[in-house]
Homo-oligomer: A and B are copies of this chain.
């Protein structure tokens, strides 16, 4: 089974060693200034939409890229017991290499 993001969206797979234990389980809203110690999430691009490039430019990310993205953007999707996050390309902050 494969996933194909639409338009300006990309699918990212979380890095296995990512720590999430700082997230409150009760769903409390944590103001920005309290989140300073939390890492934005990192992951690997597994699929990209057809429209992620700026006009006339190359795609800013390709499958396999390690990226940093805003922890509070995007939507989680679970397919075949594997978890992905689907983000608009504007919420991908940077590529790490």
Q: How large is the interface on A (under 10, 10 to 19, 20 to 34, 35 or more residues)?
A: 35 or more
5 CB contacts below 8 A, A to B, read A4-B95, A6-B93, A9-B94, A68-B77, A77-B94
Q: Which residues of chain A have a CB within 8 Å of any CB of chain B? A: 1-7, 9, 11, 23-36, 39-40, 47, 50-51, 54, 57, 60-61, 68, 70, 72, 75-79, 86, 89-90, 92-97
Q: A9-B93, A27-B34 are in contact. List 10 more A-B contacts (CB 8 A).
A: A3-B95, A4-B95, A6-B60, A7-B60, A7-B89, A23-B33, A24-B33, A27-B30, A29-B31, A68-B86
A94 touches B5 (CB 8 A): yes
Partner of A39, one of B23, B31, B78: B78
